[in-house]
């Protein structure tokens, strides 16, 4: 249809940044859950032997990439779905009558939501060092940022898909319980997928977060810590993120503000 409007993408992103900055306490507060997970699971299972764990890894090391993935999953899906808040507060109409392509709107929102999720991921990463996680150097951190970006884009896209098919926020708990939590639990964030019954394993391979978390492990902990190669993880999650944003924009384009 129309091209991409960089100005629109930028201003939608900027709006999200301002919103985040003004809700600093909420952003900090949302670090609570991942930190509790890290602290309690990390300490609780620290000495346990977990089947399928790569040799020579502390549980906290294994766990940290998983919890980074979890916190980004939650905040990304939420960022995507929050289009519904704009609808409720009337602001979506202001966005929808603007003469910019719907793709630009989707990209702007994705950029904004992903940045928020990315910040959280980075904060979890650095806070985890307080609990004994060791960062191996600058390169691993930079590589992990790529994976974090891809994870957040994927799940903001998923959130937009839900926002396009839902009328209001009422369905949100349903999605949390039946989509977001299973996505988290099946991704191998907490323990190796191999420990699950064999019939569940294919389902894990359909879970985009599996590749995100495994990729994070590969870059942060070294090749021995991941199931797949970093490159494979990278390619799979890249493809999924592009697919997800495309489906999100397609559906978003078709939803009018009202029928």
Binding site for other proteins (CB under 8 A): 1-2, 5, 7-8, 10-11, 14-15, 18-19, 22-23, 89-91, 93-101, 256-259
Residue number with CB closer to other proteins (89 or 199): 89
Q: What does the alpha-carbon distance between residue 189 and residue 124 come to, in Å, rounded to a whole number?
A: 14
Residue number with CB closer to other proteins (18 or 134): 18
Residue number with CB closer to other proteins (55 or 94): 94
Is the separation of the CB atoms in 100 and 12 below 8 Å?
no
DSSP 124-166: HHHHHGGGT-----HHHHHHHHHHHHHHHHHHHHHHHHHHHH-
Residue number with CB closer to other proteins (5 or 120): 5
DSSP state of 167: S
Separation in Å, CA 241 to CA 50, 152, 234, 246, 254: 31, 9, 11, 9, 20
Q: How far is the CB of 19 from other proteins (least distance, A)?
A: 5
Q: How far is the CB of 23 from other proteins (least distance, A)?
A: 8
The C-alpha angle with vertex 34 and arms to 225 and 208, in degrees rounded to 5, equals 55
Is the separation of the CB atoms in 157 and 111 below 8 Å?
no
Q: How far is the CB of 88 from other proteins (least distance, A)?
A: 10
Copy the structure tokens of residue 188.
Answer: 């191998």
Residue number with CB closer to other proteins (10 or 146): 10
Residue number with CB closer to other proteins (93 or 167): 93
Residue number with CB closer to other proteins (45 or 85): 85
Q: How far is the CB of 7 from other proteins (least distance, A)?
A: 5
Q: What does the alpha-carbon distance between residue 188 and residue 191 come to, in Å, rounded to a whole number?
A: 5
Q: Which residues contact 160 (CB under 8 A, 6 or more apart)?
A: 80, 81, 83, 106, 109, 110, 245, 248, 249, 251, 252
Q: How far is the CB of 95 from other proteins (least distance, A)?
A: 7
Q: How far is the CB of 8 from other proteins (least distance, A)?
A: 6
Q: How far is the CB of 6 from other proteins (least distance, A)?
A: 10
């Amino acid at each position: 249809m129309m091209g991409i409007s960089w100005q629109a993408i930028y201003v939608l992103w900027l709006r999200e940044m301002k919103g985040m900055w003004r809700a600093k306490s909420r952003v900090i507060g949302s670090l609570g859950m991942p930190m509790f997970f890290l602290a309690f699971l990390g300490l609780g299972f620290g000495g346990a032997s977990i089947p399928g764990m790569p040799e020579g890894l502390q549980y906290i090391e294994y766990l940290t990439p998983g919890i980074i993935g979890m916190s980004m999953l939650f905040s990304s899906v939420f960022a995507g779905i929050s289009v519904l808040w704009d609808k409720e507060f009337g602001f979506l109409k202001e966005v929808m009558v603007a003469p910019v392509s719907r793709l630009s709107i989707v990209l702007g929102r994705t950029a904004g939501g992903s940045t928020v999720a990315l910040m959280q991921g980075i904060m979890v990463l650095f806070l985890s060092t307080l609990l004994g996680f060791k960062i191996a150097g600058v390169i691993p951190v930079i590589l992990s940022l790529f994976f974090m970006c891809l994870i957040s884009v994927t799940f903001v896209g998923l959130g937009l898909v839900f926002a396009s098919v839902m009328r209001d926020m009422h369905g949100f708990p349903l999605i949390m319980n039946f989509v977001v939590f299973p996505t988290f639990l099946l991704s191998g964030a907490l323990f190796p997928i191999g420990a699950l019954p064999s019939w569940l394993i294919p389902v894990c391979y359909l879970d985009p977060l599996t590749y995100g978390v495994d990729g994070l492990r590969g870059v942060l902990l070294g090749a021995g810590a991941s199931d797949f190669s970093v490159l494979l993880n990278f390619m799979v999650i890249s493809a999924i993120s592009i697919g997800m944003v495309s489906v999100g924009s397609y559906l978003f384009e078709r939803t009018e503000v009202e029928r």
